[in-house]
Chains A and B, each alone.
Chain A
């Protein structure tokens, strides 16, 4: 069977690897972005000089041929779902990829500039894993040069190009004026803070426009949101809360950004505008086909689209029936990976004969795997503050829930436990600057463990490096103060107890 995967991000590549692990089917992965899979989340470290681009590739280049995964660097223009054929754009149209060092990324982009059009490609089963694109909300000037998101390798290249411009003040082309040495970032989410850290690492001043009253407080509870806001300012980020972008002004050439105007009427000169107000599925080229698309490609719990033998996974997929308490689109690395695994299973199961078929008890369905991502988890790093979340943590506490919050006096670490008031079932963990074990927290949440049992054994969850101060006792003191109870930490940190617990 010929399996074609469109997109070489974490969802597509995970699917390809798992298909290969479990079958002998013909696999082709297509990308218009790069020759090889790289870690998108690591792009910031390339810009900051922590790593080279090649270090972001989780597998050495020989891996793909050895595992018989064909890679095709090409851009799909059109899909004939009836005939099961992919048609490609001419090779010269591929987006360019350069590093800031003035050369192509080594080993990447070999097809770029090559002549001709790749031969149309037929498939038996198709996985769409086309990822996301940065949101643009119709701001005037949003398509100017110097206005970019941070998602693709090409966005990194744009940041490099404009940074050189901002740092050395030299125009890229003759008709441009020297740029202002400031970047404005629009949208207070995870990518925005990454971008702020990137520019900051090169001493490019950053103004950060955030619509909310504290950084990311649509996701983080107020204390944590305030902590991040404080930390951004500690790093001299010019954080403008409750401020929105109104328009982006072009320079004299009319092509490049030179300033932004905020909803408060302020004009801020800048050489770069980062658009980081979220992402949306990268599915425009699939619209107006028989594929059902809402915001993303609509899939059932088996990641099947409305077209037989066509699946979707990762950022581009939208679940018709989201899981309880979850969103229909979750554009996160981890969900991409889990969907990739699930899709791989279903691609090579026998049931993939279309939705109608597997609902029929007579059809030869064999064990479809539904997408079951388990307890929600996520992580990030806001400059120096690591963030981990397990379970249900909302910005505002739901009715009937209680929260237990401890914050270090230095204001850079905190532990939060949420639980149900009646019954005491633990529902979520939110950690800032403290590391907790996912599997332990996951099991406590899954099994509805009582918050006091969790507190007794909280040492098990601690995952900070050895000798680092542990704060579980302080959290318990907060609980005792709040409830008048007299709990004590009974379980110290250590792997032995953890392995016993998980067994």
Chain B
């Protein structure tokens, strides 16, 4: 029980048990195996090696989190979050950030030939699912899904007392595995074009372009329905669903980017910046990206209509630039690479144009809000600290104001970590602004106050 701290510098004792160290070693071994195959540029006995590597990682991770959460009574367990190097921007945090950023840079900007080892390793799996060899995107998709599933289980262990959190996590795991991994693979097996039914314009800007419309209209006899579905989702379903449920129907229940943030990114959620300055910057950047993608799509359609007559190659150059800067560098490299530095929702908060649209809808036309329970707030700040979107929830809670913010993805963690039961995600037909704007002084009889 009383083994000494692993670190000399901190008076806070590390709470990693022997079993957890063993579990970490197992998971680490699995990861090393993958790296070795990658480095070797070739895969020997890919099926058993892949099974062993993933098996070790799954077993290690599950054993670790079992030990971490299931050995204790259920409830909020954020002990030591700010003491651990990994979750408090310590050496481990920076190291992971560099590794992730490096990985994404290689993934996006380096050729397929850099991945021959991993693609060879994953090819039998790819043949099974798609009847074709693996490429780097298949490997990436598989690992991405794997992360969401494993870390999703961890998240459900952690919040097992809270059914909202459990169901939400089942949902993101389901949509990632089914809609973002198996169905696209299945489509390819059936000789259909690859398609993601959970990504729409403007997040997937390509689906709104004339190129995509032309392609899917004629690729196969059913592919036209794919593009019609996406168009319906963004034009009709998005405003309706957002009206009833807020942007969470997508961001924290369906979206794959959100799925990774909510599961693998959960240990970093508290690292988001809560300052007013960060909020200002956020609004500028995210709406600029929305404008940029709108301009992009407009240009492409104009150019298509004019057959390149007016803008020449400009729309192509613009499109390529958007792809590199926003699609790859921002959403990919920074979006995940900076998890351990700026929190798990960097892309969702500062960049995602889909989130921008959902945010405007949520703020202007939605039943959704976070209700504040009378005067019960003690200003402790857990809600703000664990808001992955960097919303200073406490600012509203301590004034008794309901929270209506464009960026809120409805993850519900603020309500979960609140030690006084002050916050609830809910909806009502009445104007959300009614209780969000005014300061509700529930404890001084305002009718008595005449002079003020």
Which residues of A are interface residues toward B (Cβ below 8 A)?
10, 22, 39, 41-42, 45, 48-52, 55-58, 60, 100-102, 160, 163-164, 167-169, 181, 201-203, 231, 234-235, 333-334, 337-338, 341-342, 345, 349-350, 366-367, 369-370, 372-374, 377, 379-381, 383-384, 386, 388, 435, 437-439, 442, 463-469, 494-496, 498-499
Contact = CB atoms under 8 A, between A and B. Distances in A.
B443 A341 contact: yes
B5 A467 contact: no
B72 to A, nearest CB: 8
A49 B83 contact: yes
B380 interface: yes
B373 A438 contact: yes
19 contacts: A42-B382, A49-B83, A51-B380, A56-B380, A167-B2, A167-B5, A181-B2, A202-B13, A337-B443, A341-B441, A369-B444, A369-B449, A383-B73, A388-B376, A439-B374, A463-B421, A465-B412, A465-B424, A467-B163
B429 interface: yes
Interface stretch (B74-82, B92-100, B103-111): B74-82
A60 B275 contact: yes
Contacts of A370: 448
A496 B430 contact: yes
B163 A465 contact: yes
Given A203-B2, A435-B373, A235 B73 contact: yes
A467 B424 CA distance: 12
A465 B162 contact: yes
Interface string B430-452: 10001100000111110011111
B141 interface: no
Contact of A381 (B371, B398, B420, B426): B420
Interface of B: 1-2, 4-5, 9-13, 15, 73-76, 78-84, 161-164, 167, 270, 274-276, 371, 373-376, 378-382, 384-385, 394-395, 398, 412, 415-417, 419-421, 424-430, 434-435, 441-445, 448-452
Contacts of B435: 499
Contacts of A167: 2, 4-5, 11-13
B424 A435 contact: yes
B12 A41 contact: no
A58 B376 contact: no
Contacts of A466: 163-164, 412, 425-426
A438 B400 CA distance: 11
Given A101-B10, A181-B2, A463 B373 contact: yes
A130 B378 CA distance: 18
Contacts of B428: 494-496, 498-499
Given A55-B381, A202-B15, A372-B443, 18 more contacts: A42-B382, A45-B380, A45-B381, A49-B78, A49-B83, A56-B380, A58-B395, A60-B275, A100-B11, A203-B1, A345-B452, A370-B448, A372-B444, A383-B75, A435-B421, A463-B371, A468-B163, A499-B430
B176 to A, nearest CB: 20
Given A58-B398, A386-B419, A22 B426 contact: no
Given A467-B164, A468-B164, A495-B426, A438 B73 contact: no
Given A168-B5, A466-B425, A495-B426, A42 B379 contact: yes
Contacts of B420: 379-381, 386, 388
B422 to A, nearest CB: 8
A48 B80 contact: yes
Contacts of B375: 334, 337-338, 377, 438
Contact of B450 (A51, A55, A367, A464): A367
Contacts of B2: 167, 181, 203
Contacts of B74: 384
Given A49-B78, A51-B82, A202-B12, A345 B164 contact: no
Contacts of B378: 39, 41-42, 333-334, 379
Contacts, number: 204
B415 to A, nearest CB: 6
B445 A372 contact: yes
B3 to A, nearest CB: 10
A366 B376 CA distance: 31
B430 A234 contact: no
Nearest to A440: B374
Contact of B448 (A101, A169, A369, A374): A369
A454 B167 CA distance: 31
A56 B163 CA distance: 28
B163 A168 contact: no
Output the residue of A163, A380, A465 with the most chain B CB within 10 A: A465
A345 B444 contact: yes
Given A101-B10, A468-B164, A39 B380 contact: yes
Nearest to B452: A22
A186 B161 CA distance: 31
Contact of A463 (B380, B395, B424, B427): B424
Contact of B425 (A377, A439, A465, A469): A465
A467 B429 CA distance: 20
Contacts of A231: 73
Contacts of B380: 39, 41-42, 45, 51, 56
A41 B82 CA distance: 18
Closest 9 CB pairs of A and B: A438-B374, A384-B75, A164-B11, A435-B421, A495-B428, A42-B380, A49-B80, A467-B163, A381-B419
Nearest to B80: A49
A379 B449 contact: no
Contacts of A465: 162-164, 412, 415-416, 424-425
Nearest to A99: B11
Given A55-B385, A438-B376, A466-B426, A234 B412 contact: no
Nearest to A384: B75
A384 B73 contact: yes
Contacts of A442: 374, 442
A367 B81 contact: no
Contacts of B78: 48-50
A344 to B, nearest CB: 9
Residue with the greatest number of chain A CB neighbours at <10 A, chosen from B163, B380, B430: B380
Contacts of A48: 78-80
Nearest to A467: B163
* Residue picked from B5, B74, B378, B429, most chain A C-beta under 10 Å: B378
A98 to B, nearest CB: 11
Contact of B79 (A201, A377, A384): A201
Contacts of B443: 334, 337-338, 341, 372-374
B451 A203 contact: no
Contact of B381 (A10, A56, A203): A56
A377 B11 CA distance: 38
Nearest to A163: B11
Nearest to A17: B399
Contacts of A337: 375, 443
A57 B380 CA distance: 8
B270 to A, nearest CB: 8
B440 to A, nearest CB: 9
Contacts of B412: 465-466
Contacts of A384: 73-76, 161
Contacts of B398: 58
Given A50-B79, A201-B80, A203-B1, A10 B379 contact: yes
A498 B424 CA distance: 13
A386 B73 contact: no
A51 B385 contact: yes
B4 A168 contact: yes
A366 B452 CA distance: 11
A303 to B, nearest CB: 12
